[in-house]
Amino acid sequence: MSGRDPDDRVPPPATGPVAPTSSVSLWRATIRRGQWAPGPEHSVLAFMGGAELDLRHARLDPQGTTLRVVAVMGGVVIIVGPDVEVRCDGRGVMGGFGDLSGPPTTPPPVGAPALHVTGLALWGGVEIRRQDREAIPPA
């Protein structure tokens, strides 16, 4: 026995700001669903392809999550749960950028941060939908 504590092998937790994350779809489909963490800022690029971001089981940042979305001749679908407050201020140029989610269907938890979606759809489309949470399918 070495006399070392088994926890000595565990690196210390990271400090400082969390790095932005991204999803890129170039001429293909990109799907993010299940338990994942987009972080406080997540960039999405769909160029002649499609991206689906299912946030119903995602671990959103407690301080708020901003999605910066650009769709050029492609499409992005963002799915939120019934209790997520959404703020959308993206623009469509010869395309559409729309929040089809409506208000939360169940009250958000007290102090729950909003999801902010911003960006541009150029000859493409970005839409936000609201769906009930379902069981996460096995991988």
Mark residue 56 as left, alpha or beta (left: phi above 0; alpha: psi -120 to 50; beta: remaining): alpha
- Predicted confidence band at 110 (pLDDT cuts at 50, 70, 90)? confident
Write phi, then psi, for 104 (nearest 5 degrees). -55, 140
Among residues 105, 17, 30, the alpha carbon closest in space to that of 69 is found at 30
Q: pLDDT value at position 116?
A: 97
Instruction: Tell me what the mean pLDDT of segment 92-112 comes to.
Output: 90
pTM of the model: 0.82
- Strands 91-93 and 125-130, by their bridges, are unpaired
Instruction: Check residue 9 and report its DSSP letter.
Output: G
**Reduced to 3 states, what is the DSSP secondary structure of residue 8?**
helix
